[in-house]
Structures are given as C-alpha cells and as structure tokens.
C-alpha cells in the first residue's frame, strides 16, 4: 500500500476538517450529558457524519490523484482503482445500518 504524501495545503485543509468534526463530536457528548433536546443532538450527529464523509472523499481524491500518477503500468493503475473503490465501498451510504433497530445497550 502506498504512503500518501499530501500537499501542505491539502493536508492543512483535511486536518482542519477533522479537527472541526472532533469539536462537533465533543459538543454532542456535552449535549448528551446535559440531556439536551433529542432533535438537536441528532442534527449535530448528522453534521459530524457529513463532515467525516467529506473528509473521507477528500482523502480518496488525494489518494487517487497521487497513486494513479505514480502507477507504472496498466496493472498497477488497475490495482490502485480497485483499492480506491474497495475503500469507498466501505463508506456508509445510509444512516440506517443493519441492526439499527437494536437498543443502545
């Protein structure tokens, strides 16, 4: 697996997105501790999920740009594409996952 080397601007942008999502998640934890409104908590969780999804796509784009350029032949290019699609296939595309009706505890 190739090591990703992001341009400094891309790295800074991605880290900022992740830090923002981390802050949002801490906010959600406080909201739960403070027994805030369920709708507000769900709204913030949706925002965190969207922020992480956007960061995942940005990283996937950087991976594709870097690794496809570095691929030495058609077989290597095909492998990079397969790896990228496998990784993207693991991103959640639906908030209702199997077992979503299960209790929290």
Q: Tell me the CATH number at 47.
A: 1.20.58.1000
Total domain count, the chain: 1
Tokens of 11: 């790295």
Question: pTM to 2 decimals?
Answer: 0.69
DSSP tag of 1 = -
Residue 46 lies in a domain: yes
pLDDT in tens, 8-61: 888 898 999 999 999 999 999 999 999 999 999 999 999 999 999 888 888 888
Q: What is the extent of the structural domain holding 64? A: 13-89
Between 94 and 64, residue with greater pLDDT: 64
For residues 83 and 77, give the distance between their C-alpha atoms in angstroms, rounded to a whole number.
Answer: 10
Residue 104 lies in a domain: no
CA atoms within 13 A on the CB side of 35: 0
Residue 96 lies in a domain: no
Residue 101 lies in a domain: no
């Amino acid at each position: 697996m190739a090591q990703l080397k992001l341009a400094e601007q891309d790295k800074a942008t991605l880290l900022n997105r992740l830090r923002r999502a981390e802050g949002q998640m801490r906010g959600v934890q406080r909201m739960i501790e403070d027994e805030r409104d369920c709708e507000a908590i769900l709204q913030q969780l949706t925002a965190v999920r969207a922020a992480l999804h956007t960061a995942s796509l940005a990283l996937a784009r950087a991976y594709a740009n870097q690794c496809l350029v570095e691929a030495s032949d058609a077989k290597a290019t095909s492998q990079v594409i397969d790896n990228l699609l496998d990784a993207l296939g693991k991103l959640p595309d639906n908030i209702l996952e199997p077992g979503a009706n299960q209790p929290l505890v």
